[in-house]
Amino acid sequence: MKRLLKYFGLSAFTCSFFFIILTFFSCGETNKTAEEISKIAIDLKVNRFDREFANAVPEDIPRLKLQYPYLFPEQFPDSLWIAKLSDTIQTELSDEVHKAFGDFEQETEDLESLFQHIKYYFPKFKIPNVVTVTSDVGYNNRVILTDTLLLLGLDNYLGKDHHFYKSIQKYIAAGLDKQYLTSDIASALSKKVVQYPRNRSFLSRMVYYGKELYIKDKLLPNISDAQKIGYTTDEMEWAKANEEQIWRYFVERELLYSTDAKLDRQFLDPAPFSKFQLELDSESPGRLGRYIGWQIVRAFMDKNTKRLEQLLKLDPDEIFKKSNYKPRK
C-alpha cells in the first residue's frame, strides 16, 4: 500500500481525505434519490375484499359480484357463495387474517413506499388496484399481479408456525409470514421485467435470479437481505460465511456453463437445503445459486454505471465478465 501511495505521490492523509469525500458524495446521492422517491405521488387504494366478504350477508352477494367480478367465476352459482359465508373454515380464515393484519395500516404504508420506488425506477408502471383476499391457503398463488390488479392472499402470511400450515413442508411454511409480503410483490413484478434467459447455462440462470434480487435492493431498501431472498437470519449468515466455498464448488466442478437441468433442483428451486451431496447439505439453506447470482449482479453494478433498466437487458455472460466477482472470504 505504501508503495502505491508513493507511486501516485499521495500521503495516507490525502487518501483518507479522498475516501471521506467519495463517501460523502455517495451518501449525498443516495439521500437525494430517497428524497426524490418520497415526493412521488401515489394514488393507492386497498380494497379489503376479505373483510367485506367476512362481514357480508346473503343479500350482499350481487353487489360484491358486481364490484369484484374477477373473484366470482360465472360457472359457480350464488348458492355456493352464500354457503361459504357461513362455512366454519372460511370464518376461521377470515378471523385469523383479521388478527394478523388488523386495519392493514402498516402494510398500506409499505405498499405506498414500494410503489413509489417502482414508479421511480419504472416510470411507465401503472399502480394496480390492490385487493386483499383469503385463498384457502393457496400459497403457490399468494400474490397475483396483472397490468391492472394486485391480489394478495393474506391467509398465506400468518407466520410459519400457524396451525393452518401444519401439513405444509417446513421450508415452504417458513416463507408464509407477513415480513415477506412486499418481497413477494417485488418478485411478481420482476417476472414482468426480467426475461428468462434463452441460454440455459447454470450461470445464466443464476444471474437471472440475481437480477430479481437486485431489483429488491432498489425497490425495498429498508428490508433485510434475508427478507429479500426469503431466508431466516441464520440462513443468511450461513450463505455469507460460506460464499467462498460455494463459489469454489461451482467453479471446480465446472458447473457455470453446464446446462444440466438438475442443477435447478440442487441450487435454484425452493428446497429445504441446497444439494452439494456433502455432509454440510443439511446445514445449508436452499437456493444458494440465486444468492451467488445476486452477489455477481451486485459486483457488476458496483463497478459499472448502469441504470436498473439497462442492467435488466444485459446478457448474463457480460454481467459476469465485467463484474470481476470475487466471493467474500
Q: What is the mean pLDDT of residues 260-270?
A: 95
Q: What percent of the chain has pLDDT over 70?
A: 91
- For the cut 90, the answer to whether the pLDDT of residue 6 exceeds it is no
- For the cut 70, the answer to whether the pLDDT of residue 287 exceeds it is yes
Q: What is the mean pLDDT of residues 233-257?
A: 96
Pairing of strands 149-153, 143-145: antiparallel
pTM (2 decimals)?
A: 0.88
Q: Do 92 and 50 meet the contact criterion of CB atoms below 8 Å apart?
A: no
Torsion from C-alpha of 237, 243, 246, 247, nearest 10 degrees: 160
pLDDT at 29: 65
pLDDT at 27: 56
pLDDT at 78: 95
Per-residue pLDDT of 91-101, as tens digits, reads 999 999 999 99
- For the cut 90, the answer to whether the pLDDT of residue 60 exceeds it is yes
* CA dihedral sign of residues 296, 298, 304, 305: positive
Q: What is the mean pLDDT of residues 236-258?
A: 96
Sheet of 129-133: strand order equals: 46-47, 129-133, 149-153, 143-145
Which of 150, 136, 139 is closest to 107 using CA atoms?
A: 150
pLDDT band at residue 277 using 50, 70 and 90 as cut-offs = confident
Instruction: Kindly report the average pLDDT of the chain as a whole number.
Output: 91
Stronger pLDDT, 14 or 163, i.e. the higher one: 163
Q: Do 304 and 220 meet the contact criterion of CB atoms below 8 Å apart?
A: no
Owner of C-alpha cell 432498489: 218
Per this entry, what is the length of the chain? 329
Q: What is the mean pLDDT of residues 47-56?
A: 97
The CA distance from 206 to 259, in Å, is 12
- For the cut 60, the answer to whether the pLDDT of residue 24 exceeds it is no
3-state secondary structure of 143: strand
The CA distance from 147 to 128, in Å, is 7
pLDDT at 28: 62
- For the cut 60, the answer to whether the pLDDT of residue 291 exceeds it is yes
- Among the residues of the chain, which ranges form H helices? 2-7, 12-38, 49-54, 61-67, 78-85, 88-101, 105-121, 170-173, 181-193, 202-219, 225-229, 233-241, 243-252, 262-267, 288-303, 308-313, 316-323
Q: What percent of the chain has pLDDT over 90?
A: 85
Q: What is the mean pLDDT of residues 119-146?
A: 96
> Taking the chain, what is the end-to-end CA distance rounded to the nearest angstrom?
20
Owner of C-alpha cell 355456493: 80
Which of 119, 141, 225, 130 is closest to 188 using CA atoms?
A: 141
Pairing of strands 149-153, 129-133: parallel
Which of 294, 311, 291, 270 is closest to 171 using CA atoms?
A: 270
Amino acid at 312: L
Owner of C-alpha cell 451467488: 292
